[in-house]
Chains A and B, each alone.
Chain A
Amino acid sequence: MTSTAPRTAPAAQVVGGAPLLEVDDLSVEFRTDYGVVKAVNNISYTLAAGETLAILGESGCGKSVSAQAIMGILDTPPGFVTSGEIRFRGDDLLTMTSKQQRDIRGEEISIIFQDALSSLNPVFTVGAQIGEMFRRHRGTSRKEAKALAIDLMEKVRIPSARERVDDYPHQFSGGMRQRVMIAMAIALDPAVLIADEPTTALDVTVQAQIMDLLAELQQETGMGLILITHDLGVVGEIADRIAVMYAGRIVETGATDAIFTAPAMPYTEGLMASIARVDQKGQRLNPIVGSPPDLARLPSGCPFQPRCPRATDLCLAERPPLREVVPGRLSACHYAEEVLGA
C-alpha cells in the first residue's frame, strides 16, 4: 500500500484560467419499479487542463453515474438527468444534438472502465478496436488505422505490439488489457480523460504501473484527468484536487495535500483515519461505523449524520450546504471549521 504522505510536488493548478470541464448543479435519478433512486444530487465540480481531479467515495455514492452522465452513456431509461449543465469548453453537452455528442465522445472526452475484459468486445482484435477510433472519427483507412494502433500500443508500453495487434482481448493479462483500453481512450488526444476505477481490479504492482502510465500520458499531452476511485493511496500519488462524494452529493473539495493533512468534514476525517498504516501495526483498525445509506430512502438532514461522531440535532434537521470554509476548500458540514481545526 503506498504511503499517504502528502504530495510534495507543486500541484499543477489551473492552467490558463478557464476550466475545461464544468459540471454545474448536476442531478441524476433512476426511475425503477421500486422507486426513484436519486443517484446524484446537485453536484458541481470543475476540471482545468492538465489537472488531475480525484472523485473519491464509497461504492454506490454516485461517482460513476456522474461520469457516465458526462459521457452521455447513461442508460436512459431508467436513468434521467433532472437538473444541471455539463459545460465542455463553455458549451453545454446536455443540450447538444446526439450527433454532436457522439462526435465529442472519444475525440475530446474519453473514458476507461474498471473491468477491461468485459469492456472490450471479445470477438474483435485489439488492433481493430483501437483502430476503430481513427476510422470512426477521422475516416482513416483500415491499413493506416492498424499502423496507428500499433503505435498506440507501443506508447502504452504493450510489449511486442506488432505481433499482438491481431490478438483478442482474452489473450491479454489484466494489466495489458487495461493498457489496451487506455490506448483506445487516448488515441485521438482527448482533452479530458475519465478513469472510472481503473486499477480496482488489478494487483498492487500493476496498479502502480498503470497509474504511472496515466500520469506520464497526462504530462505529455496536458489533458485533464478525472480519476474516480475509492482508493486513497492512488489518490495521494497522482491527484491535484479531490472532490469527496457521499450519498450522491459532494461533501468536500480541496487540494490533495490540504485535505490529507486537515480534512474539513467528518466523513473525510473518518476515511483518513480508516486507512491501514504501517505504524499502526498491532492496533485495531478504525472503520467508519454503520453502512452507506439507501439512495432510495435518504434520511432527512445531513446524509452522513447517522454515522457521524459529531452529529447533533441540527444535523438531523438541516442539510448542510456545500460552502467555502477557507479559500479553496469547500465542505458540507455545519461544523466544518471545528473539524478543520481538529
Chain B
Amino acid sequence: MARYIARRLLLAIPVLLGASFLIFAMVFALPGDPVRALGGDRPISAAVANQLRDEYNLDDSLPVQYVKYIGGLAQGDLGTDFSGRPVSEILVQTVPVTVKLALVALAFEAVFGLVAGVLAGIRAKSFFDSLVLVSTTLVVSIPVFVLGFLAQYTLGLKLGLFPIAGVASGFSGYLLPGFVLAALSLAYVARLTRTSLVENLRNDYVRTAKAKGLTPLSVVGKHTLRNSLIPVVTFLGADLGALLSGAVVTEGIFNIPGLGRAVFQAIQSQEGTVVVGIVTLFVFVFIIFNLLVDVLYAALDPRIRYE
C-alpha cells in the first residue's frame, strides 16, 4: 500500500511539472507585450520598460524563464503582479474564501445527493425514483450560469431568502453560491448512488444476506450500501478537488472574492505571474486530490488493495 502511494506520488511530479510548464508557456507566449499593456495609454520610457523586463525576466527565452520561475517557487517565491503585490498574498486572501465555498458545496451535494439517491435506489421505478431521475436530468442540462441567475433571481431577489452577492454579510453569503456550485454535482451524486444501489441489489450476495435471515435494514443498509457507496465516495473526493479549482463562473455571478474570480481578473488584465501561480496551485490541488481518492478507493474496496 505504501509503495502504491509512493509510486503514484512519484508519477505525479512529472505531471505537475509538465502541466505547469504548459501553462507557463501559454501565458507568457502571449502575443502582445504585457509591459506595454501595463502602461495603458501612457507610453513607457525605454528605460522603465527595460527595468520592468529585467525584473520579470521577460527578455529571457521561455525555458529559461520557466526555470527561474521554478527556482523561485522552490524558495516559496511565487512572484509578484505588476503592481508589486506578491502573488502569495493574493493567495492568502482568496484561498480561505474558495475553501469555504467548496466545503459548503460539498456538504450540499453529499447530504442531498446521497439521501435522494438512496431513497430512489431502494424504491427503484417508483414515483419518487422517476422524480429524482427527471429533476437530476434537468439540473444537469441547465448550464451553471443560467442556474446561477435563476437562483439569484428567485431565491435571492424575489423571495429575499439569501444575500444575492458578496460575502460581506458573513456565512449566509456562501449558501446560495454554494448551492448553485453544488447543483450539478448533486445531480451526479444522486444518480450515481441510485444506479450503484440498484445494480448492487441485483447481486448474488444480497440473496445470500436474505437467506441468512438478516433484516431488510441490515441487507440494504449494511451489505448493499457499503458496496454501493464506493464509487460515490470516490466521486465526492474527486469533486472536492474540482470544486476547489473551478468556481470561476459562480464566483463571478455572486461576486465572491475567491480564487476563481482572482484568476479570471488576472487573465483579463494579462497578469501572467498571477495566472500561472493560481492555475499551478489548482493543478497541484487536483492531482493531490486524485491521489487521495485512489487511496480512498483502495481503502474501501479490498479487492483492489492487493494488486
A residues near B (Cβ < 8 Å) are 71-73, 102-107, 110-111, 113, 115, 118-124, 132-133, 136-137, 168, 170-171, 181, 184
Contact = CB atoms under 8 A, between A and B. Distances in A.
A192 to B, nearest CB: 12
Contacts of A124: 223, 226
Contacts of B211: 71, 73, 105-106, 110-111
Interface of B: 203-205, 207-215, 218, 223, 226-227, 230, 300-303, 306
Contacts of B208: 113, 119-121, 181, 184
- For B212, B214, B215, the residue with the greatest tally of chain A CB atoms inside 10 Å of its CB is B212
Contact of B204 (A110, A118, A168): A118
A123 B301 CA distance: 6
A126 to B, nearest CB: 11
Nearest to B302: A168
B31 to A, nearest CB: 55
B212 A168 contact: no
B205 A102 contact: no
Given A103-B213, A111-B211, A171 B205 contact: no
A121 B213 contact: no
Contacts of A106: 211-213
A100 to B, nearest CB: 10
B227 A121 contact: yes
B223 A168 contact: no
B306 A105 contact: no
A221 B302 CA distance: 35
A136 B207 contact: no
Contact of A121 (B209, B215, B306): B209
Contact of B214 (A120, A132, A170): A132
B204 A136 contact: no
Contacts of A119: 204-205, 207-208
Nearest to B214: A136
A115 B207 CA distance: 12
A72 B223 CA distance: 19
A103 B207 CA distance: 16
- For A71, A123, A133, the residue with the greatest tally of chain B CB atoms inside 10 Å of its CB is A123
Given A73-B207, A136-B213, A123 B218 contact: no
B216 to A, nearest CB: 8
Binding site secondary structure of chain B: helix
A113 B302 CA distance: 23
A106 B213 CA distance: 6
Given A119-B204, A121-B223, A123-B226, A73 B210 contact: yes
23 contacts: A73-B210, A73-B211, A102-B214, A102-B215, A105-B212, A106-B213, A111-B211, A113-B204, A118-B204, A119-B205, A119-B207, A119-B208, A121-B205, A121-B209, A122-B205, A122-B302, A123-B226, A123-B301, A124-B223, A136-B213, A170-B302, A181-B208, A184-B208
A111 B210 CA distance: 11
A78 to B, nearest CB: 12
Contacts of A115: 204
A104 B230 CA distance: 32
A104 to B, nearest CB: 7
A137 B213 contact: yes
Contacts of A118: 203-205
A101 to B, nearest CB: 8
A184 B212 contact: yes
Contacts of B212: 105-106, 132-133, 136, 184
A136 B208 CA distance: 14
A111 B209 CA distance: 11
A122 B227 contact: yes
Nearest to A102: B213
Contacts of B204: 113, 115, 118-119
A123 B305 CA distance: 11
B302 A123 contact: yes
B95 to A, nearest CB: 36
Given A122-B205, A184-B208, 15 more contacts: A71-B211, A73-B211, A103-B213, A106-B212, A111-B211, A118-B203, A119-B204, A119-B207, A121-B223, A122-B301, A123-B300, A136-B218, A168-B302, A168-B303, A184-B212
A103 to B, nearest CB: 6
A134 B205 CA distance: 18
A110 B212 CA distance: 7
- For A106, A121, A170, the residue with the greatest tally of chain B CB atoms inside 10 Å of its CB is A121
A124 B303 CA distance: 10
Nearest to A114: B204
A104 B226 contact: no
Contacts of B203: 118
Contact of B213 (A104, A113, A168, A170): A104
A221 B303 CA distance: 35
A71 B211 CA distance: 7
Nearest to A125: B302
A105 B207 contact: no
Contacts of A110: 211
Nearest to A103: B213
Nearest to B208: A119
Contact of A171 (B226, B230, B306): B306
B207 A113 contact: yes
Given A102-B215, A168-B302, A123 B227 contact: yes
B227 A170 contact: no
A20 B190 CA distance: 48
Contacts of B223: 121, 124
- For B203, B207, B211, the residue with the greatest tally of chain A CB atoms inside 10 Å of its CB is B211
